[in-house]
């Protein structure tokens, strides 16, 4: 009888130990599952915050009274974010726009489309004290692959004999495209050279020469 009781006690002890092990494993499993869920939630929050930080900048709209004229070099104060009428966008959110110019007029309050801006290097004060002219120039392939604005020289070849040839070296080309049998160019020259160039335009063939390739 005593041996039977001892056997039952050992058996009961083993059952309790097994139950304790199962309970421990179950608790550990639940803890690891909870930790895994917490990790997933934290990772999701971090990803959402990162996406919000890296989200493409909101397209600025024109804040400049009267709108932005063609070939006006855009400044930070010319822009604002939609819904923030009194504050210009932060510089790091307008870097793709500042220093560039639009080829068309953009009304005040309208969004600025970066695809319609000058594709070349940004400008700062390069167009100060300059006048813009629209010219018809002889067709050339010298500027193929060059994105305006870029520097060039203008040569005026008079159609009358005995007339001096014009050479304008201080010139920025802001736009250049084919126009029938010629090319249409928008150039910026110093104010001081405007009157001289005006006397050549009507009686000369105009050629653009590249300064940098």
pLDDT band at 7 (very low <50, low <70, confident <90, very high): very low
Instruction: Report the pLDDT averaged over residues 185-193.
Output: 93
Q: Is 60 exceeded by the pLDDT of residue 84?
A: no
Q: How many CB atoms lie within 10 A of CB 58?
A: 14
- Boundary of a domain, candidates 124, 156, 173: 124
The pLDDT value recorded for residue 58 is 61
User: Residue 180: which region, alpha, beta or left (left: phi > 0; alpha: psi -120 to 50)?
Assistant: left
The pLDDT value recorded for residue 144 is 83
> Beta strands 79-80 and 166-179: pairing type?
unpaired
CA 17 vs CA 3, 7, 21, 104, 131: distances in Å: 21, 15, 6, 84, 95
Two structure tokens written together for 109: 């309050």
- Look at the chain and report how many structural domains it folds into: 3
Beta strands in 117-160 (DSSP E): 130-137, 150-158
Q: Are residues 134 and 206 in the same domain?
A: yes
Q: Are residues 144 and 115 in the same domain?
A: no
Q: Are residues 83 and 36 in the same domain?
A: no
- Boundary of a domain, candidates 15, 35, 55: 55
Q: Are residues 157 and 177 in the same domain?
A: yes
- Boundary of a domain, candidates 82, 103, 124: 124
Spatial CB neighbours of 197, under 8 Å, sequence gap ≥ 6: 133, 154, 156, 166, 168, 189
The pLDDT value recorded for residue 95 is 75
Instruction: Report the pLDDT averaged over residues 176-195.
Output: 92
The pLDDT value recorded for residue 85 is 58
Q: Is 50 exceeded by the pLDDT of residue 121?
A: yes
Stronger pLDDT, 86 or 188, i.e. the higher one: 188
Q: Are residues 139 and 202 in the same domain?
A: yes
Question: What CATH number did the domain enclosing 97 receive?
Answer: 3.90.1210
- What does pLDDT average to over the chain? 78
Please give the helix or strand (H or E) that residue 19 lies within, else none: helix 2-54
Domain that holds residue 7: 1-55
Range in 42-46, 117-121, 133-137 the model is least confident about: 42-46
pLDDT digits (tens, 9 = 90+) for 135-174: 999 998 888 888 999 999 998 888 777 667 888 889 999 9
Q: pTM for this one?
A: 0.67
């Amino acid at each position: 009888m005593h041996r039977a009781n001892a056997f039952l006690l050992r058996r009961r002890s083993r059952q309790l130990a097994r139950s304790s092990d199962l309970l421990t494993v179950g608790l550990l499993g639940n803890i690891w599952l909870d930790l895994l869920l917490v990790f997933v939630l934290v990772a999701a929050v971090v990803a959402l915050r990162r996406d919000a930080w890296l989200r493409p900048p909101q397209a600025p709209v024109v804040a400049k009274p009267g709108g932005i004229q063609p070939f006006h070099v855009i400044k930070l104060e010319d822009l604002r974010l939609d819904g923030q009428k009194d504050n210009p966008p932060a510089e790091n959110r307008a870097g793709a726009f500042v220093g560039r110019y639009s080829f068309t007029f953009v009304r005040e309050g309208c969004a600025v489309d970066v695809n319609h801006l000058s594709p070349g290097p940004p400008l700062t004060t390069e167009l100060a004290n300059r006048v813009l002219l629209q010219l018809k120039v002889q067709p050339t392939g010298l500027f193929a692959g060059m994105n305006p604005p870029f520097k060039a020289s203008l040569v005026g070849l008079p159609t009358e004999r005995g007339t001096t040839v014009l050479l304008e070296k201080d010139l920025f080309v802001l736009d250049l495209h084919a126009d029938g049998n010629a090319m249409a160019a928008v150039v910026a020259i110093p104010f001081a050279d405007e009157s001289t160039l005006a006397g050549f335009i009507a009686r000369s063939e105009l050629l653009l020469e590249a300064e940098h390739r």
